[in-house]
Amino acid sequence: MADSVASVATTTAPKRRVNLAQRQNRAMWWLLLPSLIPVIAFSVYPLANGIWLGFTDAAAGYDVRFSFNGLNNYAKLLKDDLFWNSFQIGLIWSFSVTVIQFFLALSLALLLNAGLRLQWLVRPLALVPWAMPSVITAILWKLIYHPDAGLLNAMLKNAGLITHNINWLGDFSLALPAVIVVGVWSGMPQTTIALLAGLQNIPYELHESAALDGANTWQRFTTVTWPAIKPVVVAITTLDFVWNFNSFGLVYVLTEGGPGGKTMLPMLFAYQRAFGNGEFGYASALGNAMVLIVLAIMGTYLWRQMREAK
Amino acid sequence: MKPKPYVRVLQYIALGFFICFLGFPLLWLVTTAFKSPRELTTINPTLFPTMPTVDNFFAAMTHNNLGQALLNSLIVAVSTAVVTTVLALPASYALARNRSRLRTVTIGWILVSQVFPFILIVIPLFIVLKNLGLLNSLQGLVLVYVVWSLPFTLWMLLGYVSAIPSDLEEAAATDGAGKLATLIQIIFPLLVPGLVATTMFAFISAWNEFFFALVVIQSPELQTAPLLLARYVGAEGNVQLGPLAATALITTLPGLLIFAVIQRKLISGMMAGAVKG
């Protein structure tokens, strides 16, 4: 009797489970479709289409026909001095912002983790740029860099370091460093938080035992802290680099790429080409080139990190 | 393990540097907003206004269509936040409870989409919106924002749903509660804090966004606040700094207030993500 019940149970159970799984699967699709459809229609499809446009001679305007033109856009890119200029500036900007920001954010995260006073002031301050629209951040810094009414010139003059007002954002050699400072400022929060999270995940005992072994502060940092936060460091610097390379709003409002193209980031250049000149195909080709460069740099960096880790 | 005194001193000097670097720009924006036009054109500007005035705020609200722009921003941000959350909630539940390949695909898409510059997506989107007659409309902008914030919203919600043990649902089921009743009476109340955080995050993202608005919106009466401000400074030369600072300050406030409310939740979420990632 008991045997037969058990055998019935074992023979029927798998069948019912399959049905349940199927029903669950179907229900899952119904729950997913409302967000899946818009994302595919207005995000995945446009992206695929955008990559394709990079191989066409598409232009703005009503009912303009366009056709596949192979690698023509890319041949044109290679001969375009403005393209080389913008990519060079993009790399300088992206690299400088990421590196400077990383060192500042790491110091700040270490300070925030060191049990100092004034935390109530520093923590919110370190987060505010994150809640600000990039346009406002740009305006804020325009007020600081303002030649006549700006904070920076006033401070430097009071300190006796300069006698004439400097037009920070209008100067050919100062504009790029000036916008890099703004880039660093506005990206501090996410980098600091990511690093702080990494630091707070290190068990206190590790530090303690290293200290007992006679390790000084610097030795404890290199043997305990750094190895522990290394994965977070690699992740956040990679993301920062990509975000910075693709950044737009901040510099668009600060300088519009000027003076004389000295702060013309790739996205600003592509935007100008697409919506200023109506060259949709060429601008998309620029976008494709940006992806390639980012992937190449990211790939090399991650590959080196991984090889080191082994 | 107390650090040596000189280390402490150095630490406080460094902390002082960060307070200045992070705080002075903000302070400057606030004080500029309260300065009179005369004070803003003196040769030696001071940090604090000698004669504080609120005229700039009146000027900001009455001129430049700021009221209209703030209203547009509000409509767009609220619609985006509500629609995004309503769409993402069922999807996040489905993904949290079924460990399928689709979940990997979703998270993969969020990461991959970071690499592509907006220019690649915005041109086809511009053409699609034009064909749908949604270009230069707030509806079109909301559509773009919803799609753009969905993946991240979904990811955030996924974390909150996963944190609710599925034993809870099974227990309710054995007590005879129906699936829908379980969801509404047991799961939903537990999700409310997460939903609030997610909705507010979607709100801030839409409130602060600039690039898509720049491409989608052309009419001055449909401008969102960031767009208005960007065009205002774009006019260069004769920009009045006082009203500009006041406008900037007003535009920042909603985001800051919301941010102050959800700060803790957002950071703990991000920290979990950062450590796991």
Report the gap between the CA of A11 and the closest CA in chain B (Å). Answer: 23
Residues A14 and A114 in one domain: no
The helix-helix angle for A280-309 and B101-115 (nearest 10°) equals 110
Residues B63 and B49 in one domain: no
Note the pLDDT of residue A22.
73
Note the pLDDT of residue B87.
93
**Inside any domain, residue A57:** no
Q: B117 vs A53: CB contact, 8 Å cut-off?
A: no
For chains A and B, count residue pairs whose Cβ atoms are closer than 8 Å.
276
Residues A97 and A237 in one domain: yes
- Best of A136, A248, A282 to mutate (most B CBs within 10 Å, chain B): A136
Instruction: Report which residue type is found at B139.
Output: Q
**Inside any domain, residue A99:** yes
- What does pTM read for this prediction? 0.86
The token duo for B55 is 């005229």
3-state secondary structure (DSSP) of residue B224: coil
Residues A138 and A96 in one domain: yes
**CB-CB neighbors (< 8 A) of B208 in chain A:** 131-134
Domain count, chain A: 2
% of chain A beyond a pLDDT of 90: 37
Residues A115 and A243 in one domain: yes
Q: pLDDT of B156-181, one tens digit each?
A: 888 888 888 878 777 877 877 777 78
CATH of the domain at A251: 1.10.3720.10
Residues A27 and A134 in one domain: no
The mean per-residue pLDDT over the stretch A56-76 comes to 81
Mark which of B53, B74, B90 sits at the end of a domain. Answer: B53
Residues B99 and B27 in one domain: no
Q: pLDDT of A147-195, one tens digit each?
A: 887 888 888 888 888 888 888 988 899 999 999 999 999 999 989 988 9
Note the pLDDT of residue A105.
95
Distance CA B233, CA A252 (A): 11
Does B107 contact A at CB distance below 8 Å? no
Residues B199 and B90 in one domain: yes
Domain count, chain B: 2
Residues B32 and B82 in one domain: no
Residues B67 and B9 in one domain: no
Note the pLDDT of residue B214.
94
Report the gap between the CA of A223 and the closest CA in chain B (Å). Answer: 16
Residues B113 and B196 in one domain: yes
Q: B115 vs A38: CB contact, 8 Å cut-off?
A: no
CATH of the domain at B271: 1.10.3720.10
% of chain B beyond a pLDDT of 90: 28
Residues A12 and A124 in one domain: no
Residues A4 and A124 in one domain: no
Residues A296 and A233 in one domain: yes
> What is the domain range of residue A6?
1-40
B206 to chain A: nearest residue by CA? A133
Residue in B123, B27, B98 with CA at minimum distance from that of residue A288: B123
Residues A24 and A171 in one domain: no
Residues A183 and A83 in one domain: yes
% of chain B beyond a pLDDT of 70: 89
Torsional sign, CA A161, A162, A168, A174: negative
> What is the domain range of residue B22?
5-53
Q: A128 vs B22: CB contact, 8 Å cut-off?
A: yes
ipTM comes to: 0.85
Report B:58-97 residues touching A (Cβ under 8 A).
87-88, 90-91, 93-95, 97
The mean per-residue pLDDT over the stretch A46-63 comes to 84
Is it the case that residue A18 has pLDDT exceeding 70? Answer: no
Residues A36 and A146 in one domain: no
Which positions ≥6 away from A276 have C-beta within 8 Å?
none
Is it the case that residue B82 has pLDDT exceeding 70? Answer: yes
Q: B259 vs A27: CB contact, 8 Å cut-off?
A: no
Higher pLDDT, B7 or A54: A54
Residues A76 and A219 in one domain: yes
